[in-house]
Chain A
Amino acid sequence: MAVVKLFGAWLSPYCYRVIWALKVKGIAYEYIEEDLSNKSPLLLQYNPIHKKIPVLLHDDKPICESTVILRYIDEIWPQNPLLPADPHERAVALFWIKFADDKSPLISKLFRTDGEEQQAVAKECFEMLEVLEEHALIGGKKFFGGDEINMVDIAFCSVAHWLGVIEDFAGLKIFEPHKFPRLNSWIQNFKSVPVIKDNLPDTDKMLALLKRRREMLLASKSS
Chain B
Amino acid sequence: MAGELVLLDFWPSPFGMRSRIALAEKGIPYEYREEDLRNKSDLLLQMNPVHKKIPVLIHNGKPVCESVIQVQYIDEVWHDKAPLIPSDPYQRAVARFWVDFVDKKIYDLGSKIWKTKGEEQANAKKEFIECLKLLEGELGDKTYFGGESLGYVDVALVPFYTWFYAYEKCGDFSIEAECPKMIAWVKRCMQKESVAKSLPDQEKVYEFVLQLKKLFGIE
Contacts and interface: CB of A to CB of B under 8 A. Distances in A.
Interface of A: 49, 58, 61, 63-65, 67-69, 71-72, 75-76, 87-88, 90-91, 94-95, 98-99, 131, 135
A72 B90 contact: yes
Contact of B76 (A75, A87, A131, A135): A87
Contact of A72 (B49, B50, B89): B89
Contact of A98 (B69, B77, B89, B93): B69
Interface of B: 49-50, 59, 62, 64-66, 68-70, 72-73, 76-77, 89-90, 92-93, 96-97, 100-101, 134
A88 to B, nearest CB: 5
Nearest to A71: B96
A189 B126 CA distance: 47
Nearest to B105: A49
Tell me whether chain B's interface is mostly helix, strand or loop, or mixed. Answer: helix
B97 A65 contact: yes
Nearest to A69: B93
A49 B134 contact: yes
A131 B50 contact: yes
Contacts of A49: 101, 134
B93 A68 contact: yes
Contacts of B50: 95, 99, 131, 135
Given A67-B96, A71-B96, A91-B73, 17 more contacts: A61-B90, A63-B90, A63-B93, A65-B97, A65-B100, A68-B93, A71-B92, A71-B93, A75-B89, A88-B73, A91-B70, A94-B69, A95-B64, A95-B66, A95-B69, A131-B50, A135-B49
A49 B134 CA distance: 8
Nearest to A47: B97
Nearest to A75: B89
25 contacts: A49-B101, A63-B90, A63-B93, A63-B97, A65-B96, A65-B97, A67-B96, A68-B93, A68-B96, A68-B97, A68-B100, A69-B93, A71-B93, A71-B96, A72-B93, A75-B89, A75-B92, A88-B59, A94-B66, A94-B72, A95-B50, A95-B66, A98-B69, A99-B50, A131-B50
Q: Rank and list the top 8 A-B pairs by shortest CB-CB distance, nearest first.
A: A72-B93, A75-B89, A91-B64, A68-B96, A91-B73, A87-B76, A63-B93, A94-B69
Contact of A95 (B65, B77, B92, B134): B65
Contacts of B77: 87
Contacts of B76: 87, 90
Given A65-B100, A131-B50, A135-B50, A91 B93 contact: no
B97 A88 contact: no
User: Dominant SS at the A interface?
Assistant: helix
A87 B97 contact: no
A94 to B, nearest CB: 5
B189 to A, nearest CB: 23
Contacts of B89: 72, 75-76
Nearest to B100: A65
Nearest to B96: A68
A147 B69 CA distance: 24
A52 to B, nearest CB: 12
A58 B64 CA distance: 32
A17 to B, nearest CB: 15
Nearest to A64: B97
B32 to A, nearest CB: 20
A161 to B, nearest CB: 23
Contact of B69 (A61, A76, A91): A91
